[in-house]
Amino acid sequence: MLNHGITLVRDLGHELPKVNGDSNQLEQVFLNLISNARDAIDDAEGRKKEVRIRSTFSRMEGSFVVVSVKDTGLESRLKT
């Protein structure tokens, strides 16, 4: 990812079906997830900097394309 020293690892499923939805809204969701991951990683000095994006197809309880975004940043915890 540009100028942040972050490695992007893509584990994308093959032959995934088309997804019904608003492409602009889906793009915004993914951009927000990646931006949040980048921000979390920037705060994690001395750690491996990696964002992993994974997509799979699931037939459990219907048919779904599942996308996950995982980063190596620090977890933020809210005190209640």
Per-residue confidence (pLDDT) for residue 78, from 0 to 100: 45
Q: What is the mean pLDDT of residues 26-34?
A: 94
Residue 78: burial class (beta carbons within 10 Å; 0-12, 13-18, 19+): exposed
Structure tokens at 58: 């699931």
Segment 63-74, tens digit of pLDDT: 899 999 999 987
**Is it the case that residue 2 has pLDDT exceeding 60?**
no
Per-residue confidence (pLDDT) for residue 53, from 0 to 100: 95
The domain spans of the chain are 7-71
Pick the CATH number of 7-71 from 3.30.450.20, 3.30.565.10, 3.30.70.260, 3.30.70.370: 3.30.565.10
Q: What is the mean pLDDT of residues 13-24?
A: 92
